[in-house]
């Protein structure tokens, strides 16, 4: 009887050990999956933001429906930052908007049209930011631009600002 109880106890230990091993393998697989995804995201962060020729054509097609709208691109850079990744992206976007028959304009505030943003500002952010007025027409325009950028692989956050002119998009290009 003692031998049978010992064998049963050993079988229970083997089952518990097997269960723990299966759980550990599942947890290790999850951790490995998260690490792989994080590594891919890190690689993506290091790559320059360049819009491919196919996406350029797609953006032009999507933006052209809003031709005559105004845009302004502000690029964040340092004084020695000539030909930076963010400048190249800003130049590429500017050409896309102009080809789409948008009007490049200085960022005018509705409250004071004599004030305009510069083309370059000191680096203070990362990423891409869209800003537009909160009226329905501007929101429709801003969300369409945001969605077109997203479809082209360019992620941009956006906000509405009451002081902005109607049907005007301001694009701030920060560091990658």
**In angstroms, how far is CA 14 from the centroid of its own chain?**
50
Place of tokens 């369409």: 144
pTM for this prediction? 0.67
Q: How confident is the model at residue 127 (pLDDT cuts 50, 70, 90)?
A: confident
φ, ψ for residue 72 (rounded to 5)? -145, 135
Could you read off the pLDDT of 86-118 as tens digits, one per residue? 888 999 999 999 999 999 986 555 566 666 655
How many angstroms separate the CA atoms of 171 and 176, rounded? 14
The answer, yes or no, to whether residue 123 has pLDDT greater than 60, is no
- Beta strands (DSSP E) in the chain are 70-76, 103-104, 108-109, 112-116, 120-121, 128-132, 157-160, 168-173
**In angstroms, how far is CA 139 from the centroid of its own chain?**
19
pLDDT, averaged across the chain: 82
Q: How many CB atoms lie within 10 A of CB 112?
A: 9
Percentage of the chain modeled with pLDDT above 90: 36
Place of tokens 């969605």: 147
Q: How confident is the model at residue 20 (pLDDT cuts 50, 70, 90)?
A: confident
Write out the DSSP string of 47-81: S-----HHHHHHHHHHHHTTTT-EEEEEEE--TT-
Window from 2-11, 52-61, 67-76, 137-146 with minimum mean pLDDT: 2-11
Amino acid 50: pLDDT: 82
Could you read off the pLDDT of 31-78 as tens digits, one per residue? 666 766 666 665 555 667 788 999 999 999 999 999 999 998 888 776
Q: Which tokens sit at 31? A: 């951790």
Window from 31-35, 132-136, 140-144 with minimum mean pLDDT: 31-35
């Amino acid at each position: 009887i003692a031998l049978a109880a010992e064998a049963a106890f050993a079988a229970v230990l083997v089952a518990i050990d097997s269960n723990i091993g299966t759980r550990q393998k599942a947890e290790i697989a999850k951790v490995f999956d998260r690490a792989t995804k994080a590594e891919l995201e890190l690689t993506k962060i290091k790559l320059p933001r360049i819009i491919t020729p196919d996406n350029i054509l797609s953006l032009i097609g999507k933006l052209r429906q809003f031709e005559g709208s105004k845009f302004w691109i502000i690029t964040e850079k340092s004084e020695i930052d000539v030909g930076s990744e963010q400048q190249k992206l800003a130049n590429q976007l500017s050409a896309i908007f102009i080809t789409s028959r948008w009007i490049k304009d200085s960022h005018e505030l509705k409250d004071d049209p004599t004030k305009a943003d510069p083309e370059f500002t000191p680096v203070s952010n990362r990423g891409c930011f869209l800003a537009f007025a909160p009226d329905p027409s501007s929101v429709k325009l801003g969300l369409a631009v945001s969605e077109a950028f997203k479809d082209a692989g360019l992620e941009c956050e956006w906000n509405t600002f009451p002081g902005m002119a109607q049907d005007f998009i301001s694009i701030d290009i920060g560091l990658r």
